[in-house]
Structure 1
Amino acid sequence: MSNNVYSSLPKDIQDSPEAKNERQPPVSETTKKFVPNFVLNSIESSTKDPAKIYVSKLKGKVILLDNPLKTSEEKKKRIKLQKKKKVKVMSAKEKKETKIYEIPEECHKYDLFIPLNELWLQYMEELHGNSSPAVFVQKLLKADFHGALFTVSKSRCASYIGITGINIQETENMFKLITKDNKLKSIPKGHSVFTFQLKDYMFTLYGEQLRFRSATRATKKFKNKPNIDL
């Protein structure tokens, strides 16, 4: 048997009914001559011999009919359009100028955030579950404190001590508390100690150890540290 992939099929297979049914209709002489004639007419005869070019480079060879250059250009256009469609992300300067994170003054009302505090208490009870104190402390470090009712128990700034309010916004270095007299207080985490009550337990948080964005803190691995002096 010939090793040529394109060699003719054996006679018995060619004469079988299945092969006859699958056989393609004969190609006319006009069709056979179309490709060579088209190529020869497309090559400029002033520079080189078209017939030699056809025989040496094209005859009997598989030719890619698509235009790779055109495909590449279309791909670049498509990528460019996709980039244009992408939502533009605001820079930190633009966020500051538009005051996107500032809470409107008409929303500085303690009663508005009582339901948030109730949801937070449910969340903390589920988080606590039957955990041991050591395990719960690790959970607290990564917990979300939006809705927590905090009291500033210690601070280097004496005017912050005793402030109690619901935490409605947390940044890397601040807790923003809304107090019962509808005032928004921005308390720095650094050099401050916060307490909150859960059931019959009182918990203490050292703000210095929480100086991370909430999203960063949720994935960060914390190491045991001694108490921090104010």
Structure 2
Amino acid sequence: MASSPSQSRYQSPPYPSASKLSDSMCYAAYAASLKYSEANDPVYNQLCQPIHENLLGPNSQIHEERVGGDTIKGILHDILLSGDGADNYTRGASDINVQDKFVFFDNPTFQGNASAKARLRALRSRGKRSQKHMSMRQHRQCGSFDFPRKYQRYDIFLPMHEMWKEYIGELLRNCRKKSIEQCLLAADFHGAILAVVESKNKSFIGVQGIMVRETVNTFGILTSENKFRVVPKKGSVFIFQFDFWRVTLHGDKLPSRKLNQADT
């Protein structure tokens, strides 16, 4: 059956296929989910959120005069009225000269006094520590760890050790039994063979040799291997033996000794 020319010229509008329709629906769903995820992203949550007018109380109304350029003046107005100088301002003041004015939210006087006191305490404690102990740099500058290499020979100081044995023997014979401790605290140990039996620094335990130099806080010991070791008195225990005497020296008590010559 032949169709009329008008019917032949009429064509139905193209309808999307099922696959194209499903693709468009998936894209729309993806766009909606993407928009929702962006709106709820934590980065956007940090932005200020608008407050519904029903949530604003009667005292939270935003005044029209504060909107725009007067917002800062309104905030400063409230701060100045709640501060120590509130008597100088009145609630009805319409204009406040904020030029060259400073508002402190904390108490700088209290913080300044506290920080100054803390610094003073730190300086005092540092001064006390410096009186008792020398730094490693000060020890190196004073030569506490140095000893002339040409004298770092154990056999050179053996005669001094023999002289020391005569000295300590006479000292102990002339001391009374009740004053032996005081005699030993005042004795000269240059030439004595000292052994380190205890120390906070484990590397010093077992060091033994002739004591060739004493300072307020250290013993300089020359070992039989011709090595010079500087052992701190504090936290260390030394022993020496003479005839039937075996004496233990606690280093914590030795810094109070009065040395015959000035030392570091």
TM-score (norm 2): 0.43
Greater C-alpha Rg: 2
Where relative contact order (Cα < 8 A, 6+ residues apart) is larger, the structure is 1
- The structure richer in helix per residue is 2
TM-score (norm 1): 0.49
